[in-house]
Amino acid sequence: MDKARLDIENKLVPKGADVTRHLALPEQGQTPEWILAEMEKMDSEMTGSNSWKAGKLSGAVYHGGDDMERVIVAAYAKYCVSNPLHPDVFPAIRKMEAEIVAMTLKLFNNPDGAGTMTSGGTESIIMSVKTHRDWARAVKGITEPEIIIPSSGHAAFDKGAAYLKIKVHSIPVDPYTRKVDLKAVKRAINPNTIMLVGSTVNFPDGNQDDIEGLGKLAAKYKTGLHVDCCLGSFVVPYLEKAGLSEGANGKYKLYPFDFRVPGVTAISCDTHKYGFAPKGSSVIMYRDAELRRYQYYVNPDWSGKWLAVSTPVLVYPALGTKPGALIAGTWAAMQYMGSNGYLESCRSIVTCARTIADTIVASIPELYILGSPPASVVAFASKHPKVNVLEVGDKMSQRGWHLNALTGPPAVHIACTTDGVSSVQRLTVDRVDVFIADLKDSVQEAKVQPEGKGSMVALYGLGNSSAVGPAMVGQLASAFLDTLYKA
Ligand SMILES: Cc1ncc(COP(=O)(O)O)c(C=O)c1O
């Protein structure tokens, strides 16, 4: 534990006598030149916030184009001080937020539906959990709510359930298709069920649940159904148009997932992922405005003033006041990309992911792909007794890749990204050959020289390593969070 804790700290917190620490306010304010120079210095002290430009990463940065960045920064600068809590003072921001929601609803085939913007996928999901809880209490009289989540569903659902005191049923996915087991979902439904969950696509391995099957259950038992398109965001709605809703031999097939599927009551879509908007931006959509009402927090008794905001203060304390500049940045990104831009980026991202998956299948016999992922994420696991895939992940880290490790089964994933409009920075899309070459070398090295010391093996292997493994993972996670606040 101590070693792992120290490793985390050494990776994240700069050390040494020449590191300046700003632990108290400067007596006099600094100049803009000093501020920017100090940021440069901080970048160079560690690996630097420019290291992503090498493109060897999974997700995290969803576009890399300077042109795109200029558009977002200009929009941000124009509305830097705006505060949407005061729509009378900033009417343009209110209009942009409403239009972002409308454009996204249209993309998910529910132009008459309703939604709000949030600060990210996690908040969109927590809002949906809250909305369904309050709806079920008002309409069905449910006071001890329960939700049913695939084991591949994002942790934000568990987080929301923990915050809002809702019981969770975690349902296994089929080990081959990676889709949630519908029979087990059906068995878990009871009179307290407020909501089912399905992903298009899920975070761990990029596969899609059977949304139509879940929709039938939701309609039959009159529960909500949330489709998590946070990661699928602006890729999955374009797959059909791009002619990519099915690959060769029926692989990578995308099944219906949006509001056209009966029973779907809510969809989350992250504009700050494949929508290429600045970070801190997502949309939660509902089938209709009546359901959205249950998201609102209205407190007519508060002595300050009558406050009605679309998100409860409980979950996102800053809202009330929220960053209008992010709304402007999101609106600008969507206008700049347009449908054609998103179609193009969908094409290049998905082609990249499928090239990676197909090449692994064809030329790396030690590995297999989890499921048949229709969009941007590819996860690989080992089928060779001498190859620990987490060791492969560590060898990839040594080659400069920032990939994600998974458990259940142990696997490693990459979420491919590009901006689709720039010819300069194309992140994963331009590095497929390097990725494959590095992966082949890493697999061979892991087979003949396993070290068992890298952080993927140490951290992600831990959960299954012994009886105390899961508790240690919990302790390490807390240690990691503590480290984030070490100045
Ligand atoms: C499928 C899925 N849902 C939800 C989230 C949460 O999004 P955020 O990190 O923006 O809170 C993610 C993040 O990667 C995701 O992949």
Ligand 1 close to Cβ of residue 152 (< 6 A): no
Q: Contact at 8 Å (CB) between 284 and 122?
A: no
* Ligand 1 centroid – CA 402 distance (Å): 17
What percentage of the chain's residues is helix, strand, coil (to nearest 5)?
A: 45, 15, 40
For residue 331, count other CB atoms closer than 10 A to its CB.
23
Ligand 1 close to Cβ of residue 311 (< 6 A): no
* DSSP secondary structure letter of residue 28: S
Ligand 1 close to Cβ of residue 275 (< 6 A): no
Phi-psi region of 250 (alpha: psi -120 to 50; beta: other; left: phi over 0): left
Ligand 1 close to Cβ of residue 202 (< 6 A): yes
Residue 300 structure tokens: 């007519």
* Sequence-ordered list of residues with C-beta below 8 angstroms from that of 335, at least 6 positions apart, any chain: none
* Ligand 1 centroid – CA 48 distance (Å): 24
3-state secondary structure of 119: coil
3-state secondary structure of 258: coil
* DSSP secondary structure letter of residue 13: S
**Of 119, 61, 105, residue with least CA distance to 282:** 119
Atom of ligand 1 nearest to the CA of 153: 1
* Sequence-ordered list of residues with C-beta below 8 angstroms from that of 458, at least 6 positions apart, any chain: 4, 7
Q: Is the dihedral of CA 40, 42, 48, 53 positive or negative?
A: negative
* Sequence-ordered list of residues with C-beta below 8 angstroms from that of 480, at least 6 positions apart, any chain: 8
pLDDT of residue 314: 37
* Ligand 1 centroid – CA 447 distance (Å): 33
Q: Which amino acid is at 376?
A: S
Measured in whole angstroms, the distance separating CA 296 from the mean position of its chain's CA atoms is 24
For residue 481, count other CB atoms closer than 10 A to its CB.
9
Residue 367 structure tokens: 């590995």
Ligand 1 close to Cβ of residue 270 (< 6 A): yes
Ligand 1 close to Cβ of residue 154 (< 6 A): yes
Residue 343 structure tokens: 């179609």
For residue 453, count other CB atoms closer than 10 A to its CB.
11
Q: Which helix (H) or strand (E) holds 470?
A: helix 469-484
Max CA pair span of the chain:
69
**Of 464, 471, 467, 465, residue with least CA distance to 408:** 464
Q: Contact at 8 Å (CB) between 391 and 450?
A: yes
* Ligand 1 centroid – CA 476 distance (Å): 21
Beta bridge partners of 412: 380, 405
Taking the C-alpha atoms of residue 460 and residue 410, their distance in angstroms, rounded to an integer, is 8
In the predicted model, what is the mean pLDDT of the chain?
88
pLDDT of residue 424: 47
Which of the listed residues 127, 128, 200, 203 should we mutate to test ligand 1's pocket, taking the one with most ligand atoms within 8 A of CB? 203
* DSSP secondary structure letter of residue 199: E
Q: Give 464-484 pLDDT, tens digit per residue.
A: 555 666 677 778 888 888 888
For residue 37, count other CB atoms closer than 10 A to its CB.
12
Beta bridge partners of 404: 413
* Ligand 1 centroid – CA 179 distance (Å): 18
Which of the listed residues 58, 118, 231 should we mutate to test ligand 1's pocket, taking the one with most ligand atoms within 8 A of CB? 231
Q: Which helix (H) or strand (E) holds 50?
A: none
Atom of ligand 1 nearest to the CA of 201: 1
Ligand 1 close to Cβ of residue 278 (< 6 A): no
Taking the C-alpha atoms of residue 376 and residue 58, their distance in angstroms, rounded to an integer, is 10
pLDDT of residue 449: 85
Per-run averaged pLDDT (10 residues), the chain, 487 residues: 80 82 94 94 72 70 77 95 86 95 98 96 96 98 98 97 97 97 98 98 97 98 98 97 90 97 98 93 97 86 62 47 91 95 91 93 96 96 95 91 88 81 60 90 92 73 62 80 83
Residue 218 structure tokens: 């939701």
* Ligand 1 centroid – CA 237 distance (Å): 17
Ligand 1 close to Cβ of residue 132 (< 6 A): no
DSSP letters for 290-343: HHHGGG-EEETT-SS--EEESS-TTT-TT-SS--HHHHHHHHHHHHHHHHHHHH
pLDDT of residue 432: 84
| CB-count burial class (<10 Å; 0-12, 13-18, 19+) for 322 | buried
Q: Give 364-387 pLDDT, tens digit per residue.
A: 999 999 999 999 999 999 999 999
Q: Contact at 8 Å (CB) between 95 and 103?
A: no
* DSSP secondary structure letter of residue 205: T
Measured by CA distance, the residue closest to atom 6 of ligand 1 is 121
φ/ψ of residue 321, rounded to 5: -60, 130
